[in-house]
Chain A
Amino acid sequence: MQIFKAYFKVLNRHKMSMMIYFIVFIVITLLIMGSIKSLTATTFSQTKSNIVVLSDDTPSPLTDGLRGYLAQNANIIDIEDDPETVQDALFYGNVAYVLRIPAGFAESFIGGTGALPLQKTVSASGAVGMNLDLLIDKYLNLAALYEKSLPGLDQSDIAARVLNDLSVAAAVDYNTTKQTSDTAAISYYFRINAYPTLAILIMGIMTIMITFNEPDVNRRNLCSPVSPMKMNMQMFLGNAAFAGAVWSALCIMTFILYGAVPAGAGVALLCLNSLVFTVASLSLGFVLGKFLKSSVAMAAATNVVSLGMCFLSGVFVDQEALGSSVQTIGSFTPGYWYIKAVNAIRDMSVYSAQNLRPVFYDILIELGFALAFVAVALVATKQKRQTLES
């Protein structure tokens, strides 16, 4: 097992550069974990957006009522009423909606000639702004309704009646099974997993390949008393052991970060999917190692290939949010099919043969990529050996 041992000696010497990706994975995951919203909700909870309410008007029951109603249905953020602070908060998405109540609004609304318009400033997202528009207009339209139909009511009376009406709510049936929510949360970590898997395997395998394929080392190995068959076998074992170790380390890490995992078909499928993707990454590293010769080129290729594939296939940005042309480009990489399978498992509520078939197709395509990479590498090996011998 000399070669098998040498394999891990080489890897050991480069462990730091591979550890970097492992650490990056953990950092990204921890960062995201803080911001990811709980997916395990079993009851309907309305989405609350961040809103700033700035008032130039003197406080009145009408505007206080509006503010109170908004506080129930959105998160009111208190920030300084300074143009730059407000603009920054909007730009960075800290606040989705800024409502400014002009001076004299309540007076113009009740018994006035016509209500002054409220001023809103929204960041880009359309649906959030739409929702808050609905809430505010609803409150004011009801107030106007009372004002017109029951003349003589004072402001606080109107506000009280409006708020009383607004406490009526429609019943909601929430059709989600607990099971899907559980796989939904963990599938997220498996999605991010694709990046360290790719980067570590490409980096590791290429390091090995470049070391062993250096012409002098290779020539020396070819005239050693170990048969090429045995040598390749040990190399293969080394690759398998390395890939297995990376896969299990990342899976275990995912479980540690996620916490308690309810064992089930969904989790098993996710693990199987990532195992096949690990094999595909391994063969991608194998084929790249055949073509690149220096460690500088290796670092460049690792970064560009792994980041590129992750961006194109929907690891960092949700696959459903990618443009259709990007998805088409992405579908020429194994990462795309890995993520597609992860998403399909995430959305699956019943594990029937009919539902599982597309997932297995995706996994088979990943396997097809692995075979294709190996085939290219073998052709390259053959050609290289011929030039080496000549």
Chain B
Amino acid sequence: MFGHIFINRFKLLVRDRPTVFWTLVYPLALATFFCLAFSNLYGGDAFKSIPIAVVDNAEYRSDTVFQAALDSVSDANSASENPLFHVTVESREQADAGLKNNDIKGYILFDNGARVVVKSSDIDQTILKEFMDSYLQTASAYRTIAGVNPAALQSLASAGTRSYIENVTPAKAAVSNTLINYYALIAMAAMFGGFWGKKEVEDIQADLSPQGARMNLIPVHKMKAFGSSVCASIAVQFLSQLVLLAYMALALGVNFGTQLGCIVLTGFAGSVAGVAFGALVAVLVKGSANVRTAVMLCVSLGMSCLAGMMNSSVKYMVTQHVPILAYINPANLMTDAFYALYYYDTYTRFYTNIIILFGLAAVFFLVVCAATRRQKYANI
């Protein structure tokens, strides 16, 4: 019996083109758009020399100490390992034109003392000002020392500066700002699996569809029939999750870490939770089919948004301020499971997420079973 219902139900489901579109084609299209739009966004993480200019006038030319300081941080100086600036020396008119056309971020002008000229205040401009400040501050320190202990200045010339900072990698994998968007997108696709669950309930409840009325007459236990067809739904949804995961990992190069088994397990847990969620909506929301679809869409999109699909900081804020919401949101649990796999060395957080996800699915299905069994209708 199980095999019969499962196979026929499976065939029926994969021919439901609108639902296949929303659960598979639409996430694939969105993932492609994400990839195209984000490809360049955080690619240039490495620091690039900032283009600046220095106005060439008599005051600048006479200040050889400054020239040496600037040279040490310029990319023209091959000794510098990580040059701060790409410096051009030009006239004030040229520098103004360059600033206007965004060719340079700012310029340094010597006009009775050094000034920095910028037209916006972003990080690059801050670094330029920081450099200029630093030069003036060091000069101030030398003046103080010269006043107290002039003899020490001789030895200082050779002292130079050094870095006191060493880099420590944060976790086992690099920080990546767009990964959460992709993970939450998979979670959205999993929640869209609710369309299958909704369909299952609609097709088994006598008051929701003619098929449901017919199903109540078959000589098979209702929960048995329902169970078999839900398994078919989960199978279809799991397959589309696998296609989506494979497409993201292999074609788009989204990094999921290396634990293949755990990644597939997350996809499976998400599929079960998604189908269960749709069935729950179909049971709880009374009204027309359109209302149920609208509720399903809004809730699953809302959950994916809170899981960080549009902006990963939303997920962080939810976890910080309303942790309970993070634990009852299946989309967030799924996203967090992928994140924990990718970023953490330990599996505690991953398995916590997976267990809660299965737990939520079990609760959803229990409610659905309680609500659908032994219903009798005076009329339909």
Listed in ascending order, the chain A residues whose CB lies under 8 Å from chain B are: 28, 31, 41, 44-47, 49, 84, 86-94, 98-100, 115, 117-131, 133-138, 140-142, 144-146, 148-150, 161-162, 164-166, 168-176, 296, 300, 303-304, 307-308, 311-312, 316-317, 321-323, 326, 329, 349
Contact with A along B109-148 (1 / 0, CB 8 A): 1000111111111111111011111111110110011001
Contact with A along B61-83 (1 / 0, CB 8 A): 00000000000000000000010
**Residue of A at shortest CB range from B146?**
A149
**Residue of A at shortest CB range from B124?**
A127
Task: Give min CB distance, A335 to chain B, whole Å.
Answer: 12
Once bound together, how far apart are the Cα atoms of A89 and B72, in whole Å?
34
Are A169 and B121 touching (Cβ within 8 A)? no
Task: Give min CB distance, B206 to chain A, whole Å.
Answer: 26
- B18 interfacial by beta-carbon distance below 8 Å: yes
How many inter-chain residue pairs (CB < 8 Å) link A and B? 240
* A44-B121, A94-B313, A120-B166 known; A131-B130 Cβ under 8 A: yes
Task: Give min CB distance, B321 to chain A, whole Å.
Answer: 12
**Which residues of chain A have C-beta atoms less than 8 A from B119's C-beta?**
174-176
**Which residues of chain B have C-beta atoms less than 8 A from A131's C-beta?**
123, 126-127, 130
Interface size class of B (residues with CB under 8 A): 35 or more
**Which residues of chain B have C-beta atoms less than 8 A from A304's C-beta?**
26, 29
**Which residues of chain B have C-beta atoms less than 8 A from A120's C-beta?**
165-168
**Which residues of chain A have C-beta atoms less than 8 A from B118's C-beta?**
44, 172-175
* A127-B124, A149-B149 known; A142-B141 Cβ under 8 A: yes
**Residue of A at shortest CB range from B297?**
A20
Once bound together, how far apart are the Cα atoms of A109 and B137, in whole Å?
21
Are A141 and B127 touching (Cβ within 8 A)? no
Once bound together, how far apart are the Cα atoms of A164 and B125, in whole Å?
24
- B152 interfacial by beta-carbon distance below 8 Å: yes
Known: A93-B177, A149-B155. 19 other contacts (CB 8 A): A46-B121, A88-B316, A89-B316, A92-B316, A118-B164, A119-B165, A119-B168, A120-B167, A121-B167, A136-B165, A138-B134, A145-B141, A145-B145, A172-B117, A172-B129, A175-B117, A175-B119, A296-B21, A322-B36
Listed in ascending order, the chain B residues whose CB lies under 8 Å from chain A are: 17-18, 21-22, 25-26, 29-30, 33-34, 36-48, 50, 82, 84, 99-100, 109, 113-127, 129-138, 140-141, 144-145, 148-149, 152-153, 155-156, 159, 161-171, 174-177, 180, 310-313, 315-316, 319, 339, 343-344, 349
* A168-B136, A168-B137, A311-B36 known; A126-B48 Cβ under 8 A: yes
Once bound together, how far apart are the Cα atoms of A173 and B106, in whole Å?
10
Are A87 and B38 touching (Cβ within 8 A)? no
* A145-B145, A321-B41 known; A123-B30 Cβ under 8 A: no
